[in-house]
Structure 1
Amino acid sequence: MSSIRSAANSRTWLLSTPHTAYALRVSDRELPAHLHWGAPLTLAQAAAMAPHGPVYGVGVDGPGHPEEYLVAGGARFGVSSLQVQFSDGTRPVQPVLVGEHVEEESGGATLTLSYADEHYPLTIDLHYRVHDGCDVIERWTTLRHPADPPAFVTRADSACWTLPPRPDYRLSHVTGHWSSESQVERVTLARAETTLTSRRGLTGHHANPWVMVDAGDATEDAGEVWGAALAWSGSWRITVDRSPTDRVQLFGGYGHDALTWRLAGDDCLRTPVFCGLYSDGGFGAASRGWHEHVREHVLPRPDEVRPVVYNSWEATGFAVDVAGQQRLARLAAPLGVELFVMDDGWFGKRLSDNAGLGDWTPNPDRFPDGLTPLIDEVHRLGMRFGLWVEPEMVNPDSDLYRAHPDWVLHSANRARTEVRQQLVLNFARPDVAAWAHGWLDGLLRDHKIDFLKWDFNRPFTEAGWPEAADGADRLWIDHIQAVYDLLDRLRADHPRLRVESCAGGGGRVDLGILAHTDEVWTSDNTDAYDRLSIQYGFSQVYPAAIMAAWVTDSPNWLNGRVTPLRFRFHVAMAGVLAIGGNLTEWSPEELAEAADLVAQYKRIRPIVQHGRQYRLAPPGAPVTAVQYVSRDGAESVVFAYRPAPTFGRHPQPLPLRGLDPAATYRDKDTGTQHPGALLLTHGLPLTLPTGDYASALVTLIRV
């Protein structure tokens, strides 16, 4: 059980989770002091703690104790969580406590600490939430200024997380670019402000809104790790501040530099959740903690078994028509595919990426009788039907843009930068959001569509709204919130609907979008070898149940690499399996092998999608491996990948994780029995095919 309790005599609050504790102390005339984030404590122990003070004194080292939320003003010289300018030009904030409240909820509790500026009508509510059975703590902030003239907010972080003193610190995060997302970096944390950010209006391929910090000695299986992840799908900023005297704090929130948000009257800024997680079991245990949080407290349908998908994009590109799609569907169904998805090219004058976005009616030349004949054929074959859409975008060469050129993000007297021959629609405008809901709702009501692949292929530019006389910068927030609201409304009205988040590959992967969708497209790079490192980085925070992974053609379209079909399947089977190759060119032998591998996946997917994941060996090792263990511990699945053989050497046995050392496990395929203790210590013997890009799938059953 998790709980939130207070010690009235010391004004101390203790947040307890199954394996961790978080403590803070409240003051009447300043924001609360941070006490502890780490191993479990009793309330009495927390109440007896003294905040970690400055090394050289107030005014030199900053505030006399680490604060839970830093405001600009006073003897604070580092990062500010909150920056406000009042109508008379005053910037410092002087908070006074006005309330403390705990709300007990089904499965958890929320603490709210309410502050008000002692002179101006600004209120600051700090929120902390815990969930039963989960070590992740959620924090966010609510700001109000219910009077005119307004205040102007230039930074509003969701939270600030403080780490305990350690001899050294190391920062882990991911970086990358299009088709090379989620590349893990672990570096010594500089004594400086290290900022990860996106100024693009979307999460981004180049970074992802999470960080982990350890003392430099954590491994996959041991050591303390502190992590924080932001639940937001627009522009964001996370700053890791290591002071010259080694105070480390993690700041995170939406927005970026140069934005200003007007706050007055009924306006409210409710920041996105900035989650924190402590683990003493290394990076692997930290990842499993994040996976559990996503499954239990983020995803709308966490218990769903994700279907096997076929997507037509790599097979057809924009050359889409009803006959070609029906032919692909007839080839996909015998493989065991459960959901057939038609990608880009089905609407308007969409013969390439130069035109058509915004005109969401079937192309009459390619679909003379509409979508119904294709959908009916897909359903006759026993599959569900899905469709690619990009609702937030428009081509200048479209009827929509010609009718409503003012609907896009733009600035007065400035050119409109096209990326991929398209512009971004301003979903902060109520009329644009209503238009998008109208055609999407009509499409779903008029057709038996089970799935939308929701794409977002370019960043914001010229992110203005000339018609908005005041507060145009709010569109950076309001656009994303409108997308969330639209997704929720569509899902409520169409309960069978599944949605995949896509943004030119993995450009919109975050805890925010996952609360409104079912899975994400991991990367446009479908090469199986490259996917090993992409999926390794992805798994640091996000579970396999949301990681869409395709089996496509060889040579791969992106890099020309040739890999065996078995290797491609085994890599994709470590997530949500899909097929994206041109099945009309697959041989009968390849189709038969694919059907067999799909059947294997269906037997193991409850373990892969809902089990506990263990990264046994990273990309770059002689054999890369990942293991999944069912929630009850009765079954385990191991994938092993050897990109290239080492002459004269057989692969070493692979030590496993998460098994019962007192149990015996039987290899489902060979019948060989292995003592659990030996699997954990001496390892699982591996048999891999000869040649490059060899792989193995082993299923173990507890006997």
Structure 2
Amino acid sequence: MPISYETDRRLWLLQGDTTAYAVRLDAGDVPRHVHWGPSITLSEAVALSHELPDPAASSFEQGPGAAELAVEGGDHFGPASLQVRFADGTRGVEWRFIGHEARGDHLRVELADRYYPLRVTLHYRLQGDVLERWADVVNHGPDQLDVLRADSAAWHVPVQESYRLSHLVGAWNSEFRLRRVELPAAETVLTSRRGTTSHHANPWLAIDDGTAGEEHGEVWSTVLAWSGSWRVTVHRDPGGRTGWTGGFGHEGLTWTLEAGETLTTPTFSGLYSAEGFGAASRAWHAYVTRQVLPHPGEDRPVLYNSWEATGFDVDEAGQMALAARAASLGAELFVMDDGWFGARLSDRAGLGDWQPNSRRFPNGLRPLADEVRRLGMRFGIWVEPEMVNPDSDLYRAHPDWVLHQPNRRRTEMRNQLVLNFARPDVEQWAHAWLDRLVGDLGLDFLKWDFNRAFTEAGPDRVFLEHTRAVYRVMDRLRADHPGLRIEACAGGGGRADLGILRRTDQIWPSDNTDPVDRIGIQHGFGQYFPARVMSSWVTDNPNVTTGRTTPLRFRFHVAMAGVLGLGGDLTTWSADELKEAAEHVAAYKRIRPVVQHGTAYRLEGSGTLTGVQYVRDGEHVIIAWCPTRPYGYTPGPLPLPAVSAGADYLDLDTGITHTGAVLLHRGLPLDLPPGDHASAIVRLRRLP
């Protein structure tokens, strides 16, 4: 049974594939954490539930045992997961246990306040070794109830001598930079106040004792599935106890619950790995594939996007010419980017007027769609449904539709404002034109963008309801148009999370397509996102973001580690470049089943040599990069952790056979070209 219950201790044990999680109720009906780690028996969980005296405890410390959802009030002085204010001004919660229900892999623990009409259900659901947690907060009274904080879950790890925090930081064009730092004895807050997940932080984190590596050591990690503002507070006290609590919304927001209303928090999932950060990532990848993605078994097509070729200078003839060139290289999906609608001659006008520009497309978009399909490709379009330019017919007709507050100026960023999707009329308008656009053209693909943060957002509930409305629009579109696929984009990786990914098929990690920078971006992105959702383009030289010039081979090899795309101005590429590009596209299609559907192992060599190994049914694809090579440095063999010491492996391109023991301990020899920006792809097959 995945869920066991011990009556005397009022303890629940949830058993995953290789891990376990245990929680109990104390004498005051407070849910207390017992265990999160390797598999244990119910009797062992009971033994663990008996607290040992804390030698550092005193009358100034909080009560025994870490709370599963810490509330404001009583003897708790750490960060609160749940803060409420009742109609008479009283704050804090005192629990009364109502009951529990365990069905299959789903546990519900029902709690109520001892005096006030508040009920909370704690949800626990096992998916393999990933534990999903969320909460329902219900106002059972006749009066309004203010919720000042409603986190999805609190997590706790065993006492260690030291702790290390891994998290993702960044900025526009520099997202998903992995940071590993010693966790201070303090409260460390990871957050976004921008109305979206943000470029600057991501709601994933991992904790270890400072000694874990890629393939060894204990790692505890969590991911919040939410695409709006969020906050996670990590707390390490001087006594050595460490945990964190997290959920939607940032500090200072209040949700007002009407009588009978329920607030359901987003899923906050946790995973324990006994075999390092690599095993943790692979477990997250498997979870995303099985439980999150709408169409996990599909091959993601090689796409071409017109943005870097045309910018806003979009017209029918130019797009058709690019489509022909893209098809000749082997592209399978053509995506027309910004500039096709309204008065969109620059980023200053037209956003919100989602009708084709009649001068640029005198017969609408149907001729282009038909030509793209005649060339053997699918057809997609860029949209930014949540934004509007003040210089647009939509804004002139509905200035009240944007986020704004009385007596405050409307802050423009990128010459645009944010439409308030928390308004039912805005949500209905967005769905109507998107449904019409997709239906009329039979669109195969939407690149859904979101290019600026919230400002002047109010009331507080906008931060919740806007994101929920975006989810509903996407859900309706996908239900009504089963062939539609969506890419999540937000000025690059500004809205990359498991909430948006449940409704999309891939994510654009960054507007920065420089392959040197992309290696680091993709390394951080892959901490919990699998390769099959990582959109990566090959673009022009010099790179539009960095000005760096790199070989076409290097650009392709970096992009081939995910979902390959083409984004350059193909009309300027030489005949040799076009020939080489077509060869790389064909090579990608040969390795695509292993890259997109295989198991990923991050590789570390000497110096700047790194790579990724993908494994599927005995087939191995190794992609290696060496961005810089100091004088006298020869990149050595690259050790492969995903081979068996007793097996042999055939190089499918050279015919050379390698022994597994040598590949595992010494490494794979690489035939790298000289100089900087060197790369290689090796295909191996395990021999019977």
* Same-fold call, TM cutoff 0.5: yes
Asked if 1:111 is matched to 2:107, the reply is yes
Q: Distance in 1 between matches of 2:205 and 2:609?
A: 27
Superposed CA RMSD: 1.2
The residue matched to 1:376 in structure 2 has which SS? helix
1:315 is aligned to 309
1:469 is aligned to none
Gaps of 5+ in 1: 465-471
1:194-205 to 2 correspondence within 5 Å? 194-205=188-199
* C-alpha deviation, 1:653, in angstroms: 0.9
Asked if 1:661 is matched to 2:645, the reply is yes
* C-alpha deviation, 1:682, in angstroms: 1.3
Q: Distance in 2 between matches of 1:378 and 1:86?
A: 60
1:75 is aligned to 75
Q: Is the 8 A contact 2:388 2:395 kept in 1?
A: yes
1:550 is aligned to 537
The superposition leaves residues 152-179 of structure 1 with CA deviations (integer Å, 9 ceiling, x where unpaired) of 0110000000101111100000111000
Q: Distance in 2 between matches of 1:603 and 1:660?
A: 24
Asked if 1:252 is matched to 2:246, the reply is yes
Q: Is the 8 A contact 1:635 1:699 kept in 2?
A: yes
The residue matched to 2:295 in structure 1 has which SS? coil
For residue 176 of structure 1, the aligned residue among 148, 170, 183 is: 170
* C-alpha deviation, 1:30, in angstroms: 2.7
Asked if 1:290 is matched to 2:289, the reply is no
Q: Distance in 1 between matches of 2:58 and 2:224?
A: 31
1:198-237 to 2 correspondence within 5 Å? 198-237=192-231
Q: Is the 8 A contact 1:688 1:694 kept in 2?
A: yes
1:468 is aligned to none
For residue 473 of structure 1, the aligned residue among 452, 460, 463 is: 460
Q: Is the 8 A contact 2:536 2:559 kept in 1?
A: yes
1:384 is aligned to 378
Q: Is the 8 A contact 1:55 1:245 kept in 2?
A: no
The residue matched to 1:208 in structure 2 has which SS? strand
2:90 is aligned to 90
The superposition leaves residues 330-379 of structure 1 with CA deviations (integer Å, 9 ceiling, x where unpaired) of 00001110000000000000000001111000000100000001000000
2:568 is aligned to 581
Q: Is the 8 A contact 1:162 1:249 kept in 2?
A: yes
Q: Distance in 2 between matches of 1:536 and 1:528?
A: 12
Asked if 1:495 is matched to 2:491, the reply is no
The residue matched to 1:285 in structure 2 has which SS? helix
Letter aligned with residue 526 of structure 1:
T
The residue matched to 1:626 in structure 2 has which SS? strand
Letter aligned with residue 42 of structure 1:
T
Letter aligned with residue 503 of structure 1:
A
Q: Is the 8 A contact 2:607 2:635 kept in 1?
A: no
> What TM-score, normalized by structure 1, do the two folds share?
0.96
1:261 is aligned to 255
1:43-82 to 2 correspondence within 5 Å? 43-49=42-48, 50-51=50-51, 54-57=54-57, 59-82=59-82
The residue matched to 1:665 in structure 2 has which SS? strand
Letter aligned with residue 569 of structure 1:
F
| Structure 1, 145-154 or 161-170: larger mean CA deviation | 145-154
Residues 52, 429 of structure 1: CA spacing in aligned structure 2 closer, same or farther, 3 A cutoff?
farther
Q: Is the 8 A contact 2:604 2:639 kept in 1?
A: no
Letter aligned with residue 375 of structure 2:
L
For residue 678 of structure 1, the aligned residue among 632, 645, 662 is: 662
For residue 372 of structure 1, the aligned residue among 366, 371, 387 is: 366
Residues 58, 476 of structure 1: CA spacing in aligned structure 2 closer, same or farther, 3 A cutoff?
farther
The superposition leaves residues 601-645 of structure 1 with CA deviations (integer Å, 9 ceiling, x where unpaired) of 111111111111111128x93312111111x3x111111111123
2:126 is aligned to 130
> What TM-score, normalized by structure 2, do the two folds share?
0.98
Aligned residues: 686
Q: Distance in 2 between matches of 1:514 and 1:592?
A: 35
* C-alpha deviation, 1:53, in angstroms: 5.6
Q: Is the 8 A contact 1:53 1:66 kept in 2?
A: no
The residue matched to 2:460 in structure 1 has which SS? helix
Asked if 1:625 is matched to 2:603, the reply is no
Q: Distance in 1 between matches of 2:54 and 2:579?
A: 68
Letter aligned with residue 158 of structure 2:
P
For residue 462 of structure 1, the aligned residue among 456, 474, 480 is: 456
1:13 is aligned to 12
1:100 is aligned to 100
| Structure 1, 186-195 or 17-26: larger mean CA deviation | 17-26
Q: Distance in 2 between matches of 1:640 and 1:443?
A: 42
2:522 is aligned to 535
Q: Distance in 1 between matches of 2:289 and 2:263?
A: 27
The superposition leaves residues 201-235 of structure 1 with CA deviations (integer Å, 9 ceiling, x where unpaired) of 00000010011000011111110000111000000
Residues 511, 58 of structure 1: CA spacing in aligned structure 2 closer, same or farther, 3 A cutoff?
farther
| Structure 1, 4-13 or 389-398: larger mean CA deviation | 4-13
The superposition leaves residues 287-338 of structure 1 with CA deviations (integer Å, 9 ceiling, x where unpaired) of 1111111111111111111000000001100000000000000000011100
1:605 is aligned to 592
